[in-house]
A and B are shown apart, each in its own frame.
Chain A
Amino acid sequence: MSKKKEIIINVALIGGLLLILFILERFLPATSMLFTVLKKGAIYALVAVSMNLLNGFTGLFSLGQAGFMLVGAYTYGVLTIPVAERANVYMYFDGGLIQFALHPIIAIILAGALAGVFAYLIGLPVLRLKSDYLAIATLGFAEIIRAIFQWDKLGPITNGSNLLRSYPSYKSVLFYFVASGICIALIVMMINSTYGRAFKAIRDDEVAAEAMGINLAHHKRIAFVVSSFFAGVSGALLAMYQTSVQAAMFKSAMTYEILLIVVIGGIGSITGSCISAFLFIILSEWLLRFLDTDTYIGSFHVPLLRSGFRKVVFAVIIMIIVLFFRQGIMGTKEFSISGIYHKITGKKKKEVKGGGADE
């Protein structure tokens, strides 16, 4: 199968997917669980891919994702609340300091940019640290960011520990798919560029990478800032999806969840992260819901089923994957049309990467 043909098929598939979503939105009620799940899945796919860029492709074990999402979510909320609503939202801070509202798209880009700026500053000290020390330092910075945003002295800007709400948000699931899709595409393109090769070299062997003329500090910083930029964008999308946002929700537990999504999908696989994000959200928010409700079959009360059971089952599944299927769904492979094509036609691809659809 030629490269051109593959691109055409891929574009057609994406177009088809968007068309199906478009049609579904015409026929299903807007409150349908399907849309909720798809929106959240798209957002989590983006943040999981951004984390994979660090953990999977550059070998930097960072746990700061929730902090950068927070920066993005707040930037979006603060900059887009309509002036008329500000007195109401910032009721404890005399309507707040900022008295303008930006277009949502501009605010989303600024959300990413500010997260990137935070990442640049945080990266100066922490990127020199190795493996688990880096993990714990980034986790720590995420906590510091959260404390700063909840600080009442900054209330006129951040609304302290109160909710940000009343900002505009796009309702269509298409918006989330397109926004997240563009961002993921950019990350993939970067990974496939000469910079991506440098990242992978650093992941495989830092000393050898340096000996090949790759400046470690510079490239680690790029990966960290870019990853945080997209985490910021996903934070903005999450804020939009939830219609209200509060710093208290961006705890380290959120980062852990994202990390587990990355692990389930396969560390080092972009498509793996995407598939796993949707699976995670669909299962946890929708299909496994029944585990959380008391259920009677006739007069028989099904044991164990009650609030919270879903997450226990979920955690057990995750542990099984972590322990017994360490490669995750995709390992380091990528899901691709040509992979499936070769699988079906029985031709073996002679390339090492970019291979088959499954293991």
Chain B
Amino acid sequence: MSENVLKIDHVTMQFGGVVAVDDLNLEVNRGEIVSLIGPNGAGKTTAFNVVTAVYPPTNGAVYFEGKRVVENHPRGKMKKLYNGGHADEYMKTIQPTPDKITKLGIARTFQNIRLFKSQTVFDNILIAEHMRRTSNLFTATLHLNGSEEAAMRKEADRLLHILELDDVRDELATSLPYGKQRRVEIARALATKPSLLLLDEPAAGMNPQETVELTSFIGRIRDDFHLTIFMIEHHMDLVMEISDRIYVLDFGKLISHGTPDVVQNDPKVISAYLGVQEDE
């Protein structure tokens, strides 16, 4: 079974003269946990931002469940500045707003937790229900959508229960300890009912104990919610333990990919992380 859920096709992201992601190609198959690793500044988060349409790529396309959801080619000033390849292969421009991507079924978390700070855990989760509303501004304002509203709240509570967050339901989201906040952010992403979940450094700032818990948590939600998971992470224990496959980025370029064993022993990966002594 190797059905593509996500396919990144010749994606290049160039900011002015700086190439953050250089001709990235990767695939994530249904049910997999795939990790994207690489040193700081390798372009991992930029790749996430392209997939979730936070930025349009300079060139290339992104496919989700076989459908092309993002596509761009160098235009305007970029035409002159662009120095990558494959520019003439993508003639169309598809630039959805990030909310469209979420509605298609891709959810994400952020490297530096972005919870809604003035709101409770429950309200943070409840917001995800907004995009599935059938009521309009008038029926919602006049509270004529009572049953829908009740269903929304029930759904949010159900999710909190499954993820064992009941006890902090009415706490201010940002008053929680760090590890809990990460979990709430994942819960909030799950509330959008995604088929693909992007996690941007879920274990950042966690202690070893919390990391171990997170590892099993990620595995569990993949099974419980029938998810495909694409993850950026630096904690190698976590990555090696749960990834089906790993892609390694360095300076925007893909330098290696394969199963954890393959990647772990790839000399290119080792030199990217430890640095090779050149010229001396």
User: Is there contact, CB below 8 Å, between B102 and A210?
Assistant: yes
Chain B hits for A211, CB < 8 A: 52, 98-99, 102, 107-108, 110, 114, 189
**Main DSSP-derived SS at the A contact region:** helix
Whether, in the assembled complex, A358 has its beta carbon less than 8 Å from a beta carbon of chain B, the answer is: no
Query: Contact mask A156-193 → B, CB, 8 Å, 1/0?
Result: 00000000000000000000000000000010011011
The proximity string for B residues 152-167 relative to A, scoring 1 for CB distances below 8 Å and 0 otherwise, is 1000000000000000
Judge whether B114 and A214 touch: CB under 8 Å: no
CB <8 Å contact, A200 and B118: yes
- Known contacts A198-B127, A198-B130, A217-B97; is A190 also within 8 Å of B140 by CB? yes
The listed residue (B107, B127, B192) touching A201 by CB distance below 8 A is B127
Q: A212-B102, A352-B170 are in contact. Are A195 and B119 (CB under 8 A)?
A: no
Query: Of A212, A226, A332, A352, which is within 8 A of B130 by CB?
Result: A212
- Assembled-state Cα–Cα distance A332/B140 (Å): 23
Contact A352 B135 (CB under 8 A): no
Q: How far is the CB of B5 from chain A (nearest CB, A)?
A: 18
Number of interchain pairs (Cβ within 8 Å): 108
Which residues of chain B have C-beta atoms less than 8 A from A192's C-beta? 143
B201 CB, min distance to chain A CBs, angstroms: 15
- Whether B142 and A194, one on each chain, are in contact in the complex, defined by CB atoms closer than 8 angstroms, is no
Contact A197-B97, Cβ < 8 Å, known A190-B141, A204-B118, A351-B170: no
For B120, the chain A residues whose CB sits under 8 A away are: 352-353
Known contacts A200-B119, A211-B107, A351-B170; is-contact A193 B141 (Cβ 8 Å): yes
Contact indicator B141/A197 (Cβ below 8 Å): no
Which residues in B have their C-beta under 8 angstroms from that of A210?
54, 97-99, 102
Instruction: Evaluate whether A350 and B170 lie within 8 angstroms (CB atoms) in the complex, with A197-B130, A214-B130 already known.
Output: yes
Is there contact, CB below 8 Å, between B192 and A212?
A: yes
Bound together, the chains give a CA A207 to CA B114 distance in angstroms of: 8
Count residues of A near B (Cβ-Cβ below 8 Å).
33
> Does A216 have its Cβ within 8 Å of any Cβ on chain B?
yes
Q: List A contacts of B141 (CB < 8 A).
A: 186, 189-190, 193, 195
B188 proximal to A (CB < 8 A): yes
B112 to chain A, nearest CB (A): 11
Q: Which residue of B lies closest to A222 (CB)?
A: B137
B102 lies within 8 A of A197 (CB): no
- Least CB distance from A88 to B in Å reads 41
Instruction: Give the nearest-CB partner of B118 in chain A.
Output: A204
Beta-carbon nearest neighbor of A193 in chain B? B140
Q: Which residue of B lies closest to A208 (CB)?
A: B114
Which residues of chain A in 256-308 are interfacial with respect to chain B, using CB atoms and an 8 Å cutoff?
268
Q: Note all chain B residues with C-beta closer than 8 A to A209.
A: 116, 127
Contact partner, A212, options B100, B131, B171, B172, Cβ 8 Å: B131
Q: How long is the Cα–Cα vector from A189 to B142 in the complex, in angstroms? A: 7
Least Cβ–Cβ distance between B247 and chain A, in angstroms: 22
B129 interface residue per 8 A CB criterion: yes
Chain A residue nearest to B192 (CB atoms) is: A213
Most buried by B among A201, A226, A351: A201
Distance in Å: Cβ of B171 to nearest Cβ of chain A: 8
Cβ of B70 < 8 Å from any Cβ of A?
A: no
Nearest residue in B to A268 (C-beta to C-beta)? Answer: B118
Choose from A193, A203, A207 the contact partner of B143 (Cβ within 8 Å).
Answer: A193
A-B contacts, 5 listed (Cβ < 8 Å): A197-B123, A208-B115, A210-B102, A211-B110, A352-B172
- Identify the 9 closest CB pairs spanning chains A and B, nearest first: A213-B131, A208-B114, A204-B116, A213-B102, A210-B98, A193-B140, A190-B141, A215-B99, A213-B99
| Residues in chain B within 8 A of chain A (CB atoms) | 52, 54, 97-100, 102-103, 107-108, 110, 114-120, 123, 126-131, 133, 135, 137, 140-143, 145, 149, 152, 170-172, 188-189, 192
